[in-house]
Amino acid sequence: MSHDDLKAELIKTDDEFRRLYDEHQEYERRLHDINQKTLLSQDDEIEEKKIKLHKLALKDKMEHLLRVHRESRVSA
Yes or no: say if 20 and 58 are a contact pair by the CB < 8 Å rule.
Answer: yes
What pLDDT is recorded for position 37?
93
Task: For residue 36, give the 3-state DSSP assignment.
Answer: coil
Structural domains counted in the chain: 1
Which residues constitute the domain of residue 71?
A: 3-75
Environment class of 45 (CB within 10 Å of its CB; exposed 0-12, middle 13-18, buried 19+): exposed
Instruction: Say which DSSP state 53 is in.
Output: H
pLDDT (mean) for 8-35:
97
What phi and psi values does residue 14 have, to the nearest 5 degrees?
-115, 110
pLDDT at position 10 over 80: yes
- CB neighbours of residue 11 within 10 Å: 14
Residue 75 has pLDDT above 80, yes or no: no
